[in-house]
């Protein structure tokens, strides 16, 4: 395929050409090698859960009468549901284990094991503690923090009837979850139970397995991820609106360029802090650089963008291409969504590929084992290593293809409320008046099966034109940013109602709300709006979409959104189409159970129609 077919962006296209010229293989090349994919796997009808197998169910099973069941007797419905259940459990585990890492940092602060991290927002800590039932008013900060640590750890265990932040959901919704057996009791519990249920000979009723998949995802959205978001705010600060820039143009020819990649701010915040230290800047200057640039990739980039305003180099499919510029001294990663290929690509240049988490090691990488007690010390060594690598940069191989685009970031719920003067009322008035017809969260990834960012951007543009405000997180952020949608001036691309509201408030029609764990901010906001209106989340004129998703985590997000009552569009289907029962449930049956379902539609304009129709129906039902 031509580079034009692979991505909508000039920076990506230029780097794809350079990669081809320099013999560097990318995800797109490997996708071609992997195509066609195994049909059984695409349909979700392969099972490797025991060694009587592996087994596969033929899509033509009913006609031939053969290969209808695995050796144990499991049929397509059971196998698809089990696979999908484990898929959701994988995603929930990723977000939630990230959340747990923040509890560990807060614990290290409380126990005095680190001075590298601190409680940066005492007021938020006390507010969250009080929300979780801790006496937070007049006790010493560290006592409150210690109780908060215990409270959060307890959410991961088995001794609760429901997780702590669930109280943020409307009462109606909680009653529904209770009735359906979907109330998440503990993060690790639901994930472990999913592994148990999907062992050979356990849960052999597809709908029952899917109900638990929803419970597992709800544990992620309303606990694991939510803890991740709230504790990150407490430790690193609540995001407030600020300006930054995005695309590969943020890399500078004359600076030491360090890219942080992965998800958890715990490491990237330290790298940024070290890179701002005078002695390391002086070291960079001694090497002939004018300074140090720290740029973001993927979600840890989003975390630093939201709180520190660092520039974004790119999203998922830009991670390989960023190195191809030849201008990156170091890529520093923690975990999740980091292509193993980065080790090889870094090896083609002077780029140091540096891992920092014991649970995410890459053969061939340089490893620094970062913990709360040694984080700053190790971060300084990493930045020094990047500075030293600058001497090895080959200027003849450097190509920085574009100029950066301005973006606005930092829309935490606190910031949104602040912009509205402390109450949701003005926003809801705009919704009631129809100037804002509704909200759609566009979240998730890139997938080389789809022209990069064509659907992410196409959908966002189509929705704002229809006066539907867009909330962006994860890898959609950089997509929206590069398209010029994350600046107040983008109001000119919105419909008349949304344009007027954005112009009055000085905000963009697409609001950046953070990383993928920060989708919990959006769930929280849905809860706040529903409670304010005295309705359930499923009654709201809202929707969600992941047009270019690829990961288990994105599936978990989609699942908790639907289970929370949010109609959710996916640009491509999960591997479930081999089961009619599971597919029907996902696309239709869930509507009757939880008041929302999935919709699959590759065309972003048709997807906009679907979301628009949904919002129209919900507005009508509310009498708007």
The residues of the shown chain that bind ligand SF4, judged by CB under 6 A, are 47-50, 52-55, 70-72, 74, 79, 200
- Tell me how far, at minimum, the Cβ of 554 lies from ligand BF8, in Å: 5
Tell me the helices (H) and strands (E) count for the chain, helix number first.
Answer: 28, 16
Provide the token pair at 125. 């800590």
DSSP secondary-structure letter at 452? B
- Taking CB under 6 A as the rule, does residue 441 contact ligand BF8? no
- Tell me how far, at minimum, the Cβ of 224 lies from ligand BF8, in Å: 13
Contacts of 509 (CB under 8 A, 6+ apart): 464, 469, 470, 485, 490, 491, 493, 494, 498, 499, 502
- Tell me how far, at minimum, the Cβ of 172 lies from ligand BF8, in Å: 29
Q: Specify the DSSP element, H or E, that contains 245.
A: strand 242-246
Given a contact cutoff of 8 angstroms between Cβ atoms, the answer to whether 248 and 15 are in contact is yes
d(CA 276, CA 611): 44
* Phi, psi (rounded to 5 degrees) for 329: -80, -40
Scan residues 233-262 and list those touching ligand BF8 (CB under 6 A): none
- Taking CB under 6 A as the rule, does residue 516 contact ligand BF8? yes
- Of residues 412 and 478, the one with the C-beta less far from ligand BF8: 478
- Taking CB under 6 A as the rule, does residue 47 contact ligand BF8? no
* Phi, psi (rounded to 5 degrees) for 37: -75, 165
Contacts of 465 (CB under 8 A, 6+ apart): 493, 494, 495
- Of residues 74 and 450, the one with the C-beta less far from ligand SF4: 74
- Tell me how far, at minimum, the Cβ of 599 lies from ligand SF4, in Å: 30
316 binds, among ligand BF8, ligand SF4, none (CB under 5 to 8 A by kind): ligand BF8
- Tell me how far, at minimum, the Cβ of 57 lies from ligand SF4, in Å: 8
70 binds, among ligand BF8, ligand SF4, none (CB under 5 to 8 A by kind): ligand SF4
CA within 13 Å, CB half, 78 = 23
Given a contact cutoff of 8 angstroms between Cβ atoms, the answer to whether 110 and 104 are in contact is no
- Of residues 336 and 435, the one with the C-beta less far from ligand BF8: 336
- Of residues 47 and 530, the one with the C-beta less far from ligand SF4: 47
- Tell me how far, at minimum, the Cβ of 201 lies from ligand BF8, in Å: 32
31 binds, among ligand SF4, ligand BF8, none (CB under 5 to 8 A by kind): none
d(CA 319, CA 26): 10
Exactly one of 296, 444, 484, 571 binds ligand BF8 (CB under 6 A); which one? 444
- Tell me how far, at minimum, the Cβ of 208 lies from ligand SF4, in Å: 17
- Taking CB under 6 A as the rule, does residue 445 contact ligand BF8? yes
Exactly one of 55, 132, 299, 440 binds ligand BF8 (CB under 6 A); which one? 299
- Tell me how far, at minimum, the Cβ of 76 lies from ligand BF8, in Å: 28
71 binds, among ligand BF8, ligand SF4, none (CB under 5 to 8 A by kind): ligand SF4
- Of residues 225 and 564, the one with the C-beta less far from ligand BF8: 225
* Phi, psi (rounded to 5 degrees) for 158: -120, 10
- Tell me how far, at minimum, the Cβ of 571 lies from ligand BF8, in Å: 12
Given a contact cutoff of 8 angstroms between Cβ atoms, the answer to whether 57 and 45 are in contact is yes
- Taking CB under 6 A as the rule, does residue 338 contact ligand BF8? no
- Of residues 68 and 344, the one with the C-beta less far from ligand SF4: 68
337 binds, among ligand BF8, ligand SF4, none (CB under 5 to 8 A by kind): ligand BF8
> Nearest-CA neighbor of 240 among 408, 492, 445?
408
Burial class (CB in 10 A: 0-12, 13-18, 19+), 577: middle
- Tell me how far, at minimum, the Cβ of 46 lies from ligand SF4, in Å: 9
d(CA 321, CA 328): 11
- Taking CB under 6 A as the rule, does residue 553 contact ligand BF8? yes
Give the interface segment with ligand BF8, choosing from 281-289, 528-536, 551-559, 565-573 (CB under 6 A): 551-559
d(CA 343, CA 359): 17
475 binds, among ligand SF4, ligand BF8, none (CB under 5 to 8 A by kind): ligand BF8
DSSP string of 277-323? SHHHHHHHHHTT-SEEEEEEEHHHHHHHHHHH-PPEEE-GGGHHHHH
Burial class (CB in 10 A: 0-12, 13-18, 19+), 2: exposed
540 binds, among ligand SF4, ligand BF8, none (CB under 5 to 8 A by kind): none
* Cα distances (Å, whole numbers) of residue 571 to 46, 71, 449, 456, 524: 23, 34, 10, 9, 25
Exactly one of 474, 497, 509, 595 binds ligand BF8 (CB under 6 A); which one? 474
- Tell me how far, at minimum, the Cβ of 86 lies from ligand SF4, in Å: 12
With CB under 6 A as the rule, give the number of residues binding ligand BF8: 14
3-state secondary structure of 243: strand
Helical H segments across 411-495, by residue range: 413-419, 425-433, 454-465, 476-482
- Tell me how far, at minimum, the Cβ of 79 lies from ligand SF4, in Å: 6
In 61-91, which positions are buried (b, 16+ CB within 10 angstroms) versus exposed (e)? beeeeebeebebebbbbbbbbbbbbbbbbbb
Task: Give the gyration radius of the chain's Cα atoms.
Answer: 24
DSSP string of 455-472? HHHHHHHHHHHTTEEEEE
- Taking CB under 6 A as the rule, does residue 331 contact ligand BF8? no
Exactly one of 129, 337, 389, 502 binds ligand BF8 (CB under 6 A); which one? 337
- Taking CB under 6 A as the rule, does residue 298 contact ligand BF8? yes
299 binds, among ligand BF8, ligand SF4, none (CB under 5 to 8 A by kind): ligand BF8
Binding site for ligand BF8 (CB under 6 A): 263, 298-299, 315-316, 337, 444-445, 474-475, 516, 551, 553-554
């Amino acid at each position: 395929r031509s580079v034009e077919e692979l991505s909508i962006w000039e920076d990506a296209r230029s780097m794809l050409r350079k990669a081809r010229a320099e013999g560097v293989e990318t995800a797109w090349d490997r996708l071609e090698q992997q195509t066609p994919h195994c049909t059984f796997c695409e349909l979700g009808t392969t099972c490797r859960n025991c060694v009587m197998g592996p087994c596969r169910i033929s899509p033509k099973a009913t006609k031939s009468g053969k290969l209808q069941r695995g050796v144990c007797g499991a049929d397509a419905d059971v196998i698809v549901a089990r696979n999908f259940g484990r898929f959701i459990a994988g995603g929930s585990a990723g977000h939630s284990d990230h959340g747990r890492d923040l509890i560990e940092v807060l614990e290290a602060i409380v126990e005095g094991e680190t001075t590298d991290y601190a409680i940066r927002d005492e007021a938020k800590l006390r507010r969250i503690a009080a929300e979780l039932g801790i006496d937070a008013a007049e006790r010493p900060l560290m006592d409150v923090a210690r109780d908060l640590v215990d409270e959060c750890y307890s959410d991961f265990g088995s001794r609760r009837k429901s997780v702590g932040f669930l109280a943020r959901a409307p009462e109606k919704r909680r009653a529904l979850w209770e009735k359906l057996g979907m109330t998440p009791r503990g993060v690790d519990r639901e994930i472990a139970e999913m592994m148990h249920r999907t062992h050979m000979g356990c849960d052999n009723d597809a709908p029952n397995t899917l109900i638990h998949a929803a419970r597992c995802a709800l544990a992620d959205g309303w606990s694991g991820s939510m803890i991740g978001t709230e504790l990150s705010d407490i430790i690193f600060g609540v995001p407030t609106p600020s300006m930054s820039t995005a695309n590969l143009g943020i890399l500078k020819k004359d600076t030491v360029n360090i890219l942080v990649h992965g998800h958890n701010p715990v490491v990237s915040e330290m790298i940024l802090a070290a890179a701002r230290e005078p002695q390391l800047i002086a070291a960079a200057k001694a090497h002939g650089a004018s300074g140090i640039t720290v740029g973001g990739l993927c979600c840890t980039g989003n975390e630093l963008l939201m709180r520190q305003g660092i520039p974004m180099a790119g999203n998922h499919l830009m991670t390989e291409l960023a190195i191809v510029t030849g201008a990156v001294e170091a890529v520093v990663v923690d975990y999740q969504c980091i292509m193993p290929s980065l080790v090889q690509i870094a090896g083609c240049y002077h780029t140091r590929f540096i891992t920092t988490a014991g649970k995410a090691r890459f053969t061939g990488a340089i490893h620094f084992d970062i913990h709360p007690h040694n984080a700053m010390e190790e971060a300084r060594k990493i930045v020094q290593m990047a500075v030293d690598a600058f001497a090895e940069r080959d200027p003849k191989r450097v190509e920085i293809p574009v100029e950066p685009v301005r973006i606005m970031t930092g829309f935490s719920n606190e910031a949104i409320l602040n912009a509205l003067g402390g109450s949701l009322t003005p926003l809801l008035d705009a919704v009631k008046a129809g100037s804002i017809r509704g909200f759609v969260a566009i979240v998730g990834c890139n997938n080389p099966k789809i022209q990069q960012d064509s659907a992410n951007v196409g959908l966002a543009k189509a929705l704002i034109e229809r006066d539907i405000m867009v909330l962006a997180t994860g890898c959609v952020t950089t997509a929206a940013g590069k398209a010029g949608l994350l600046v107040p001036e983008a109001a000119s691309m919105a419909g008349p109602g949304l344009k007027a509201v954005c112009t009055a408030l000085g905000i963009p029609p697409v609001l950046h709300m953070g990383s993928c764990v920060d989708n919990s901010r959006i769930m929280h906001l849905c809860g706040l709006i529903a409670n304010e209106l005295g309705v359930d989340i499923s009654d709201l004129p809202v929707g969600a979409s992941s047009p270019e998703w690829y990961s288990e985590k994105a599936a978990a997000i989609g699942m908790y959104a639907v289970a929370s009552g949010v109609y959710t569009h996916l640009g491509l289907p999960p591997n479930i189409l081999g089961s009619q029962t599971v597919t029907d449930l996902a696309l239709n049956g869930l509507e009757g159970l939880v008041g929302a379902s999935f919709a699959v539609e590759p065309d972003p304009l048709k997807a906009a129609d679907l979301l628009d129709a949904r919002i129209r129906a919900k507005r009508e039902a509310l009498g708007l």
